[in-house]
Amino acid sequence: MRPDRPPVLPFVTTTRDPLIQFLTGLPAGAAADPVAIAAATFVNRVNSRRPPANWVRDMIWVTLAKSFKPGDTVMQDSTRRKLLLGLVALPITRIASASIPTPAASEGPFYPTGAMRFNDIDNDLVRVGDAVEQAGGEVVRLSGRVLDRVGNPLPAARVEIWQCDVSGRYLHRGDSGSRPRDRAFQGFGHDLTGADGRYSFRTIKPVPYAGRTPHIHVKVFIENRERLTTQFYLPDHPGNARDWLYQRIPAAQRELVTMKFNPAQGEPTAIVDLVV
Ligand SMILES: [Fe+2]
């Protein structure tokens, strides 16, 4: 049985917000009906810069709620048209607001297993434990956010990086290079994202080694499941043009795995988001 009136909902103070008053036509401080609640949801989403698909969903919600004002039992034709328009727009905005996933890449032969790592596996790769000595190479910072494909930050994601030292040696038993390894370079580190999805590392700017352009290897785990393995590169390095793995990345997606180090901030910093 269809009720003649919507259920009475608790008073919400957000009707004091001028935008909600505009959207709902309710006076400031009015007792809330479903319209005000839907409008409050919409305004909160806009304020928190949620993807457009969510705004469209909220506008549908507002329209729907408006169609069930006290006394109204039949949906107006104009309301129905707006709802249909919104339902058509929803998948379009969802596609438009979706982020391109970070392109995956080979793990390579030198991912250090647990037994090969130092006890120190923190996010500062230029110092191992309490050692005084700092790793050789140019010290840089690498950070960014781990995001899902509609732009929501993913907290508690585990981000791992590994790379060769300034001499081109990996922290891996399989690396048989002849140059001595830099014992002050951690070679592998990890970070856990916070509520904002942010990760950060202190490491060295990657250097070339035989057969490869400079790169940093990256893995992302969410709830202990591996979700992405990729490699980050330097922009405009001459080795990129000869690197077969770099050349396999579609040209339009190379930007997504490129570290542009900004030298104006003390230790040069690059920000690269990871979309999984
Ligand atoms: Fe590598």
Query: What does the domain layout of the chain look like in residue ranges?
Result: 13-96, 114-275
Give SS3 for 153.
strand
Burial group, residue 70, by CB count within 10 angstroms (0-12, 13-18, 19+): exposed
Among 1.25.40.20, 2.60.130.10, 3.40.50.460, 3.40.50.620, name the CATH number for the domain at 114-275.
2.60.130.10
Bridge partners, 202 (sequence order): 124, 141
CB < 8 Å & 24+ apart, contacts of 239-248: 239/208, 239/212, 239/213, 239/214, 240/213, 242/213, 243/212, 243/213, 245/105, 245/106, 245/212, 245/215, 246/213, 246/215
Give 255-273 pLDDT, tens digit per residue: 999 999 998 768 999 999 9
CA of 37 to the centre of ligand 1 (A): 53
CA of 216 to the centre of ligand 1 (A): 7
Q: What is the pLDDT of residue 264?
A: 75
CA of 164 to the centre of ligand 1 (A): 7
CA of 172 to the centre of ligand 1 (A): 11
The band of 6, judged by pLDDT with boundaries at 50, 70 and 90, is: very low
CA of 138 to the centre of ligand 1 (A): 18
Residue 4 has pLDDT above 50, yes or no: no
When pLDDT is averaged across residues 191-220 and rounded to a whole number, the result is 97
CA of 147 to the centre of ligand 1 (A): 24
CA of 263 to the centre of ligand 1 (A): 24
The tokens for 110 are 């030198």
Residue that is written with structure tokens 């969903």 in the block: 57
When pLDDT is averaged across residues 24-44 and rounded to a whole number, the result is 60
The band of 85, judged by pLDDT with boundaries at 50, 70 and 90, is: confident
The band of 65, judged by pLDDT with boundaries at 50, 70 and 90, is: low
Q: What is the pLDDT of residue 173?
A: 95
Q: What is the pLDDT of residue 14?
A: 45
When pLDDT is averaged across residues 172-178 and rounded to a whole number, the result is 93
Q: What is the pLDDT of residue 67?
A: 61
What gap in Å lies between CA 157 and CA 146, rounded to an integer?
7
Closest to 141 (Cα-Cα) out of 203, 86, 198 = 203
